[in-house]
Amino acid sequence: MDLIFPGAIYPDQVAGLPWWPLVLVGVALIVINIVNNRVAPQEHYLLWAFVGSVVLLAIGLLDGNDFTDMGLGFSYLLPGLIWAGISITAVTLVYLVGAIFKKTREAFADERIGTLSGGRLLFQSLIEVPLGTVLFEEIAFRAVLFSMLARRFGLTTAIVVSAILFGLWHILPSIGTHENNPALGSVVGAGRRGNILAILASVVTTTLAGVLFTFMRIFSGSVLAPMGFHWATNGLGYGFSWVLLRFRRREPKRDSGGE
């Protein structure tokens, strides 16, 4: 039995829709994931994300979904922007509080971010993350895939399946993350066991995030709502990590200079 959420905005279930468009989307996601994480050079990331977004939107439209079905309707633009603005503000406040305390501050210590130049950081946070990662993943999972699943199987299945697939999407990029983040490494450990636990942690957390993002999408009617939250957690996270790592590296210099 499908759950009912009053006020939720999502496409109605339609009987007799074919399976092949869903299979096509699944194959496209697998190919793009492998290309982005293992095949294509990093400088081609935005190109692949753009091409992938266009391809998935084309499949969604050919499947019979309109832009409102996919959370891209103009009439829900303002609610989506409001939700996005509130999300960005909330994440900023959480990060500010986390940066104050030493134990939570360590969670920002991703050494890959600390090696970036200021210009590269701005490019990654303001261009690569919103136009590559966020735009593509929200179109893929909260717009196209969610709508196609909802029209075939109903709301509950669409939420659960799209969230699980979003979690599995993060397997490849999570490999080895425990080696670059001391806080994560201290929790999951080192070696193969640590790598497996880090991957599992990434899949679980991003699956839960997928559920949250989907609820934001269906109650606002727009994928702009999860886009704001998604960008804030990633883009602002990079910024906080970079600043805190730079600040930590300068502390010994100040200490030694005063002795």
Q: How confident is the model at residue 249 (pLDDT cuts 50, 70, 90)?
A: low
Location of structure tokens 């080696």: 179
Q: How confident is the model at residue 6 (pLDDT cuts 50, 70, 90)?
A: confident
What pLDDT, in 10s, does the model give residues 57-82? 999 999 999 999 999 999 999 999 99
Q: Tell whether 60 is covered by a domain.
A: no
What pLDDT, in 10s, does the model give residues 148-192? 999 999 999 999 999 999 999 999 988 876 666 655 665 666 777
Q: How confident is the model at residue 48 (pLDDT cuts 50, 70, 90)?
A: confident
Spatial separation of the C-alpha atoms in residues 9 and 24, rounded to whole Å = 25
Whole-prediction pTM = 0.88
Number of domains in the chain: 1
- pLDDT score for 160: 97
Handedness of CA 212, 128, 23, 225 (dihedral sign): positive
Q: Tell whether 84 is covered by a domain.
A: yes
Structural domain boundaries enclosing 82: 73-257
Q: Tell whether 9 is covered by a domain.
A: no
Q: Tell whether 61 is covered by a domain.
A: no
Q: Tell whether 183 is covered by a domain.
A: yes
- pLDDT score for 184: 62
Spatial separation of the C-alpha atoms in residues 140 and 238, rounded to whole Å = 23
Q: Count of CB atoms within 10 A of residue 210's CB?
A: 27
Q: How confident is the model at residue 254 (pLDDT cuts 50, 70, 90)?
A: very low
Annotate 37-71 with DSSP letters as a single string: IIIS-GGGHHHHHHHHHHHHHHHHHHTT--TTTTT
Q: How confident is the model at residue 198 (pLDDT cuts 50, 70, 90)?
A: confident
Q: Looking at the predicted structure, is the pLDDT value of residue 212 above 70? A: yes
- pLDDT score for 252: 53
Q: Tell whether 66 is covered by a domain.
A: no
More confident call, 249 vs 77: 77
Q: How confident is the model at residue 55 (pLDDT cuts 50, 70, 90)?
A: very high
Q: Tell whether 14 is covered by a domain.
A: no
Please report, rounded to a whole number, the percentage of residues in the chain having pLDDT higher than 70.
86
Cα distances from 1 to residues 7, 59, 173, 228, in angstroms, run: 18, 28, 35, 32
Q: Tell whether 157 is covered by a domain.
A: yes
φ and ψ at residue 40, rounded to 5 degrees: -75, 145
